[in-house]
Amino acid sequence: ETGRPEGRPFLTEKILYVPFQKGLLTIDPRTGKRDDFWQWPRTEKDVPGKPGNMVITSEQVVVVNDDEVAGYSRWETARDNRLAAIKRSPAAPAPYLALAEVSFRTAHYDMAEENMSKSVHMATGDSSGAAAADGADTDILSRLYQVNLNFAEQLLGKTDATLQARARFYYDQCKLAARGPEQQAEWRLAMSDLSLAQNKPAEAATLFNDVLTDAALRNSPYHKGDAMARAGVVAEMRFRKLIAKEGPQVYQRFADEATAQLGSAEDDIPALQKIIGAYPNSDAALQAATKLADLCRKKGDWMGARKALLWLYPRAQGNAKGIVTAGLAEANLALKKYVAAIGWAE
């Protein structure tokens, strides 16, 4: 089933190319007989390709439609051209990435992983990815990071468990290629979806905790589709859901860390703030915020007290919520925010 014709045909010396809704029909113009029919491959966003007007080159069928300009070629031609590019520049990461991309999109997954690994290790400088943080080409690293994240998320969405499991390889490449707090937070939050899909709650917990305990990661922006939030907010919410599902034991090791830090914090305001930011789902964080609000109140720092109390308010339970509400009324009154003070007092 070809669907209806869409787009202008293209005639070469030997083949007439006719775009249809569901694929590309080729006709021998000398005989008028059908030569072959190929369905449109899926795009890099893992959605079905679409027909359009065409230009034919020595390697590709280039299709232009309302959404994109896409190039299609035979697997053997695309592979051989990229292998030739690797032979010309065997120490450059870009040709290996190009071969990995075309291999992935044609479901040659082993070849994709082999060449992606080579590209990442060349771009990062060694097998650990750590040595070239300063000297590596930021453009190729950025491209490697984005392509690997895209491939990982495509595989994560597969219903076939074997294909889904391959996503881990690409998240590991993201880990090596990531530079800067935003990417470091992003791949961890993205990989946590795989951890949960594979029933690995302890791994997901570690990924969430990594984001929360690093201030730079915690405060970096996190984008998901058209939405944006602080990575720490996303990690805290997902961690809370995980604790509700798996029980407090999944969080116990981190709660113990928070309790130990609270024991040594005493009246150290930065130490209390660190506990609140790093362990927001712990009882120690509630205690730290309560103590912080009290210290700020005694110092006359009503802005600091108000900030701590606002953090506490949605988390406080029972009588504690009433105490927090009264504290917010007092803080706003001291700051001459009279309307807010009345609102909290009511």
Question: 86 Cβ partners below 8 Å, 6+ apart?
Answer: 95, 96, 99
What's the CA gap between 109 and 107, in Å, rounded?
5
Predicted TM-score (pTM) of the model is 0.82
Beta bridge partners of 26: 17, 36
Contact yes or no for 332/344 (Cβ under 8 A) = yes
Give me the tens of pLDDT residue by residue for the chain, a chain 346 residues long. Answer: 678 888 888 888 888 999 998 888 999 998 888 888 888 877 766 677 888 888 887 777 888 888 778 777 778 888 999 999 999 999 999 999 999 999 998 899 999 999 999 999 999 985 444 444 444 578 999 999 999 999 999 999 999 999 999 999 999 999 999 999 999 999 999 999 999 999 999 999 999 999 999 999 999 999 988 889 999 999 999 999 999 999 999 999 999 999 999 999 999 999 999 999 999 999 999 999 999 999 999 999 999 999 999 999 999 999 999 999 999 999 999 999 999 999 999 8
Measured CA to CA in angstroms, residue 215 lies from 107, 121, 274, 276 at distances of 39, 28, 8, 11
